[in-house]
Structure 1
């Protein structure tokens, strides 16, 4: 039997890369929907401003946005964050991964190693976060993980080869997480309760609220219907 989702309210959701525009929108929407939000980023000042802005937008009745400074490129720091939260009795029911950026142009010859290493940080952070919080997601009665990828994966261009390659690898990692969720449920002969989803966008600007709302809505569907799916923002 499928799980019985009860929405995102009351869930603990970690937003990785929370100080971006899309991160701020996600924190606001999730807190407004009643989720407990853990906003993770590198810059303490940006995190403090994010917490204040989210609290003001969500209102006094919404759960607070908790901020955690962490270098998600650093495996040890991410593991330490997970351990620290568990020690405080906090376990994640969801992760929205927003670590990334854009560098490109110059045709294939212009795809420098420096740009590739910059972009690769998003994949590295995803690997660290999903591994560190895997036990939390598997223990949740309704876990959801989502990343933001690009339509460039389906039609890569020479001037964005680095970017498309890293996004494709991030999608592969996320789909492997989805397969792991499904296999664990089969092995335990239990309902699938965790789901990993890829959101694609041609450009995220202007779609930040759409992303946040669609991520929150993943808890309104049973896990089996959303696990290992690719959804295009602004289209479907």
Structure 2
């Protein structure tokens, strides 16, 4: 399973959107077993069909720990232990400055960016740590290193999610033990923004400078399985368009 020699079982969370479809499609095309997760049963079923025959859809509210535990049980029955989680859940809220950052926006961002990641990582951590090709990846933003007053809540939530992911990387490193080969890696994939064909067609007047196409995100995720864990673990990989 290491370095793509054997198909991995990959869970794509936040799989209903364009990035989820693109990542699931790329993983499926690369020969991996793909399970994709969303909160709306109709949307995630449609996304799985778009990603490819054999991609399995699951419905789960990832902000609820018990639901995530049930998801793990269901996925394990259907596909066996999970080797990798690609976490694409997030969301966007902005404001004019610091004073008008609302509690409602913070709750939305914290639930999407932090709570779901915490739940998924805690429930699936042991599976990833035991896998010969364990991978955990989240998508973050270049805005984290250049925060503005208008994006305070958004970048704070993303920064917290990044910190948790880096703590996972330390956990994988410690679990491997001194001198032992590292098989699991936690990675942050960084983009300025994501763009897809539907978004381009909806805004023909825009050029989306610096944005990463969701197909390129999918390719970057596939590359995680052909790169040794010790070269990936704890890294922040900026995806240039």
TM-score, length-normalised on structure 2? 0.89
| Residue aligning to 2:152 | 161
Aligned runs of 1:134-149 on 2, under 5 Å? 134-149=125-140
List alignment gaps of at least 5 residues for structure 1.
57-63
Aligned runs of 1:206-217 on 2, under 5 Å? 206=196, 207-217=213-223
Q: CA deviation at 1:219?
A: 1.1
| 2:232 is the counterpart of 1:220 | no
| Residue aligning to 1:233 | 239
Q: Measure, in 2, the Cα distance between the counterparts of 1:50 and 1:81.
A: 18
User: For 1:193-230, what per-residue CA distance to the aligned partner results, in whole angstroms no more than 9, with x for missing partners?
Assistant: 00000011111224211111111101111100110000
In 2 relative to 1, CA 102–142 (structure 1 residues): closer, same or farther, beyond 3 Å?
A: same
Q: Measure, in 2, the Cα distance between the counterparts of 1:72 and 1:16.
A: 8
| 2:110 is the counterpart of 1:120 | yes
Coordinate RMSD, CA, aligned: 1.6
Q: CA deviation at 1:152?
A: 1.0
User: For 1:10-41, what per-residue CA distance to the aligned partner results, in whole angstroms no more than 9, with x for missing partners?
Assistant: 11000010001100101111111111111001
CA contact (8 A) 2:98 2:149 kept: yes
Q: CA deviation at 1:9?
A: 5.3
TM-score, length-normalised on structure 1? 0.90
| 2:193 is the counterpart of 1:203 | yes
Q: Measure, in 2, the Cα distance between the counterparts of 1:134 and 1:231.
A: 21
Figure out how many residues of one structure are paired with residues of the other and give that number.
Answer: 224
Q: Measure, in 2, the Cα distance between the counterparts of 1:115 and 1:36.
A: 35
| Residue aligning to 1:185 | 176
CA contact (8 A) 1:8 1:35 kept: no
Q: CA deviation at 1:55?
A: 2.0
Report runs of 4+ in structure 1 exceeding 3 Å deviation.
none
